[in-house]
Amino acid sequence: MKYFIRTPVVVRMLRRDIIWRIGKTPGNIYLTFDDGPDETVTPLVLDILNERDAKATFFCLGRNAARHPELVDRIRLEGHTLGNHSFDHLDGRRIDARTFLSNVMRAHEIIRSPLFRPPYGWISSRQIRLLGTSFHIIGWTVLPGDFDSRVSRELCLKRLYRHTRGGDIVVLHDREAYKEKLLFLLPLFLDHFITQGYRFMALERDTSGEIPKFAMDIKQP
């Protein structure tokens, strides 16, 4: 399993149709969580965030959002942002573009967010065109590997400390499988940067100037 801990500048330059970081806000860090909501992990994550007045963006799977509407409501009510991560976490490299679009729109019926993060971080130019003007495609700057069984919780935290900078979009996962690692590193990561004067913000609150020209907001209910 190979992945970049910090997305190289050349990748960000080549894929300008994806938002990789919010460079105009160097005092902010944009923490995101993929694959939830999870009935065990997500409430604990929300508690940790709220204790520190930190905001985040939750890229939810449609199937999980449908199972846990109370968590979807809590995320919104506590000032965080929802994002679409497809309905079934389908790999866009392995299915046709129309099936991919249908799966994203199925999730949109539940999540109602203009923010979309493709599963596995991969999306083709054709898939983006089919999504049209409806979504902002969100990538990331820092991927510390909380999902990687080869990476200890200490190494994952060290990667976060070393690679995170102001304006970055950081990815973690609120899934039961990664619970022990996440609950260890999350409060330490937040406290480390908060004490340095950084703020943790939800993505939709400050994306002016970072949205590709094709993108257009869909109003959330």
List, by residue number, the catalytic residues: 34, 173
Return the HEC string of 68-99: CHHHHHHHHHCCCEEEECCCCCCCCCCCCHHH
